[in-house]
Structure 1
Amino acid sequence: MLGDLGSSLSSSSLFPPVPIIPSYLYNLDESADAVRNNSLLHQQDPAGSFRSIVSLYDNSVKQSGFNSTTRSADPVPPTPAGSELLQNSSDCPRFSKKLLNENVKVGMLFASKATVQLLTNPFIGPLTNRIGYQLPIFAGFCIMFLSTIMFAFSSSYALLFLARSLQGVGSSCSSVAGMGMLASVYTDDEERGHAIGIALGGLALGVLVGPPFGSVMYDFVGKTAPFLILAFLALFDGALQLFVLQPTKVLISTQSSYPFIFIPGAICFGNMAIAMMEPTLPIWMMETMCARKWQLGVAFLPASISYLIGTNIFGTLAHKMGRWLCALIGMVVVGFSVLCVPFAKDIYGLILPNFGVGFAIGMVDSSMMPIMGYLVDLRHVSVYGSVYAIADVAFCMGFALGPSIGGSIAESIGFSWLMTIIGIVDIFFAPLCLFLRNPPGQEEKIENILLYISIQRLLPY
């Protein structure tokens, strides 16, 4: 129960920036350009009396004033093209090179979290094997609290980048230690799959609440309020862990805990699809659908709901139908769903493709996470920190490469081609899950040992 609450609160802190950041950075850039253009306007026409009113509430700039000259033939200076967009009362930004460039900035900012998490995971895994899982979980929530506070009060790209990077450290501590603790508590394979499905459901609940909560609050209240609320919830969860969890130590494993390479591959490429959509889909909606701020987060709602459904259903069902088959079907569904996203003409057209993306990723995650713990039980000492660090590295690879590469591809050849590329990659990766059909187990190793003993008895000395 505590792990489910922790997962939901952690992901709730990670996903509200998804709809907020693209619009916020675009407004910051437009405000800076408008102020710069107004300064040039004053230098060119000192006789005119113009003022720029900067609203810190929604980061907009408005021009007001009049021409103080008495010559009727002296016209009011024309408004620069850069400020024309801000004077338009419509919420729909017109297509421009600047809006297209936001893909790269937003993609790099989102990728910073996963990149830092990718670099941190190799240290967190062995650390949990030495000091236990409880202290890293608590440290992770403390770091998440600090980064959320930074998001609330940051007003520059550099500070937002730093806050997002800190989230990577906190998320690494929480996710690796949390999954390892679940695997160590639930030793039965079927029970472990069910427990991990519930934990991923907690993650899905945070994903479900995060983007709509962030976009609606940002549209009607402002940027600071949603992050302050999330910081308070993170503080509450950290205090709850301080009283409930008791630090323990575990035995150190001296054996390798590296699973099959196709398991991290499925996790990586499956999640890379939604990772590429996070920075690029809101900007594409602003360009093509004239989407309001609150719609930028609500667009991810079908994916979040279906991910919650998928993880809870297939956490148990995948054990019965075969986890390899569950992952294979999930990768195919992810690919075809992503291919359908660019055909949407409005926000309602995104419901079915996004629902398919979330449901399929839930199938992949809920089947691959338990099988990694299962392989550790059969082949190595049952210490799970390192193996779930590998799983989290795969997850972070998707969320590090996805936004950074996706933003550049969307800028160069367009959002539609970006979705086509990742969709085809997922579909072609799916058959590789066949290699996970019959993983070697402890029983197979025992049979080999008995066969070797029998042969030795038959051989003459």
Structure 2
Amino acid sequence: MTVVNEWMAGTRFGGWVQRCRESRRLVLVIVAIALLLDNMLLTTVVPIIPEFLYDINHPDAPLDGHVRGTTTTTTPPPPVPISCQQMNQNINYSNTAAPTEIYNFTTLDPEAVQQELRHKDLVQETVEVGMMFASKAFVQLLANPFVGPLTHKIGYSVPMFAGFIIMFLSTIIFAFGRSYSVLFIARALQGIGSSCSSVSGMGMLAERYPDDKERGNAMGIALGGLALGVLIGPPFGGLMYEFVGKSAPFLVLSALALGDGLLQLLMLQPAVVRQDSDPPSLKALVSDPYIIIAAGAITFANMGIAMLEPSLPIWMIDTMGADKWKQGVTFLPASISYLIGTNLFGPLGHKMGRWLAALLGLIVIGVCLMLIPLATSMNHLIIPNAGLGFAIGMVDSSMMPELGYLVDIRHSAVYGSVYAIGDVAFCLGFAIGPAMSGTLVKTIGFEWMLFGIAILNFLYAPLLYCLKSPPTKEEKKSLITGEKSSVRYVTYQNEEDDE
């Protein structure tokens, strides 16, 4: 009887597992968790790396230590220095009061000198930090054209699981890395894992949710996982680094990543799956102007926040003397509002028109970027950062499902390559932004850097009107056929005129 009960319990458990594997909601949860952890790792380093690298390069004067060159003493001030000319003239001041002019002898304030040196060091470090942050996006950018077509050949589950393995290794390296080069490698390695996770995850959702409205809602939820990772990452990293240590946040992330990998292994059962229909070529998708416009909106929307990631914490240290936890918490309003924006404009973008939601989002992004340099305290950053995050959520949650819709109506319903393009667009923003931010801060300043990217957003926004009613595959074919017929008619007419 006991054997029978165990067999029945096993059968019920097996049936439950099988139902879970067939559930598209579970797939949505797995994709959302993968994006959450990937972006937690992406943003946890934001408040950690600038100060950690500065302390490595300046072990005698860490940012939270005493200012170099200053001493605390209770002894009386030293005698006023006497110039060489006065010494040569054998002037004796021992029996007379020191003249006022001698006390007004100007000397450099050691603290002011130290502040100036620290300012130069921080500006120089912006370049190094920007290059490190950009390395992940550059590597992801290079990997995407390979991962997209690969999903057409072997399916989405195997690249998804490979992304987990690579992210786990990257997290461990971050935990124990103690030099710029090792941390740079960890950041670049994360780019390969992110490419596998994001391209496979979005393609999997597009396949499981063929209805355009449901797909928009599902991708809004998945991007909500991404937003939650961006939301938790900076304050989590800043607080753990200040009160526990540099390795602690990455060890916690590695444990969470391990749990996600086990969930994928149990529920997705990674295996090679061939696609039934012929996928559109990457060249055909890249040459589609409507797909390029949608992808470009994602690039410009994310470029501003990407420029802020390496430069804003250092700017806050330089102008506000911000502590570690403040550098992390400053991104909190943007992350919260991004989470709201992605979940709100998943369904709302479908109703009002995704092109319009993205257009308004780019305009709001430009306004918020212009307001950030005007802040004189951390409180002044709350509203522009919140508006920035909400507007980026408008663009991302509108354009990601729009890419799938454009493939459906203009190509064939195979999604790996189009979401590789979408991820390339996302990576371009996060590659160009940090890579250029250090150089731009040095040459034109923090303020003009943000004004420039704001103007680019304003100029790009009107192009999204083209996505209001893009032609379908049949309309495109009829248009091409009509053009060919017109050419043949003109040629025939010219031949008759010649005769």
TM-score range, shorter chain: 0.7 to 0.9
Q: How is 1:218-237 mapped onto 2 (pairs within 5 angstroms)?
A: 218-237=241-260
Distance 1:371 1:445, change over 3 A: same
Distance verdict in 2 for CA 1:84–1:221, change over 3 Å:
farther
CA contact (8 A) 1:335 1:426 kept: yes
The RMSD of aligned alpha carbons is 3.1
The aligned counterpart of 2:161 is 138
1:292 matched to 2:315: no
Q: Would the aligned equivalents of 2:238 and 2:327 in 1 still touch at CA under 8 Å?
A: yes
Offset, 1:445: 5.6
Secondary structure of residue in 1 paired with 2:285: coil
Q: Distance in 2 between matches of 1:27 and 1:187?
A: 51
Task: Indicate the residue corresponding to 1:249 in structure 2.
Answer: 273
Distance 1:290-1:60 versus aligned 2 partners, 3 A rule? closer
Question: TM (normalized to structure 1)?
Answer: 0.84
Equivalent position amino acid for 1:253 in 2: P
Does the 8 Å CA contact 1:103/1:279 hold for their aligned counterparts? yes
d(CA) in 2 for partners of 1:98, 1:290: 15
* Larger CA Rg, structure 1 vs 2: 2
* Kept in 1: contact 2:123–2:438 (CA 8 A): no
Aligned twin of 1:148: 171
CA distance in 2, matches of 1:386, 1:230: 29
Question: Within 5 Å, which residues of 2 pair with 1:14-29?
Answer: 14-29=42-57
Relative to structure 1, the CA distance from residue 103 to residue 450 in structure 2 (aligned partners, 3 Å threshold; closer, same or farther) is closer
Cα 1:130/1:96, change in 2 over 3 Å: same
**Match for 1:106 among 126, 129, 144?**
129
Taking the aligned partners of 1:291 and 1:141, their CA distance within structure 2 comes to 35
8 Å contact 1:141–1:170 — kept in the other structure? yes
Aligned position for 1:277: 308
1:61 shift after superposition: 11
Equivalent position of 2:469 in the other structure: 438
Cross-structure match for 2:383: 352
Match of 1:126 in 2: 149
CA deviation profile, 1:57-105 (whole Å, cap 9, x unmatched): x999999x9xxxxxxx9xxxxxxx9x9799x9xxx99752111101101
Rounded Cα–Cα distance in structure 2 between residues aligned with 1:84 and 1:218: 27
Contact persistence 1:27–1:60 (CA under 8 A): no
Query: In the TM superposition, what are the counterparts of 1:304-319 in structure 2 within 5 Å?
Result: 304-319=335-350
Amino acid at match of 2:204: M
Q: Could you tell me how far apart the structure 1 residues matched to 2:185 and 2:120 are? A: 26
- Do 2:199 and 2:423's aligned partners in 1 also have CA atoms closer than 8 Å? yes
Secondary structure class of the residue paired with 1:18: coil
Cα distance between partner residues in 1 of 2:217 and 2:385: 25
Q: How many residues align?
A: 416
Aligned to 1:264: 295
Structure-2 separation of matches of 1:203 and 1:349: 26
Judged with a 3 Å threshold, the aligned counterparts in structure 2 of structure 1 residues 438 and 102 are, in CA distance, closer, same or farther, namely same
Aligned amino acid, residue 214 of structure 1: G
| Deviations 1:224-273, CA, capped at 9 Å, x for gaps | 10111001111111111011103351324254334422111101011001
Unaligned runs of 5+ in 1: 36-54, 66-72, 74-80, 456-461
Structure 2 portions without partners, runs of 5+? 1-28, 72-78, 80-107, 487-499
Tell me how far apart the structure 2 counterparts of residues 448 and 328 of structure 1 sit (CA, whole Å).
27
Identical aligned residues as a percent: 57
Contact 1:270 1:364 in 2 (8 A): yes
CA 1:325–1:236: 2 relative to 1, 3 Å: same
Distance 1:61 1:346 in 2: 22
1:390 maps to 421
Deviation (angstroms), 1:441? 2.1
Normalising by structure 2, what TM-score?
0.78
Structure 2 CA distance for aligned equivalents of residues 228 and 284 of structure 1: 29
> 1:93 touches 1:286 (CA, 8 Å); kept in 2?
no
Do 1:93 and 1:290's aligned partners in 2 also have CA atoms closer than 8 Å? Answer: no
Contact 2:160 2:200 in 1 (8 A): yes
SS at match of 1:257: helix
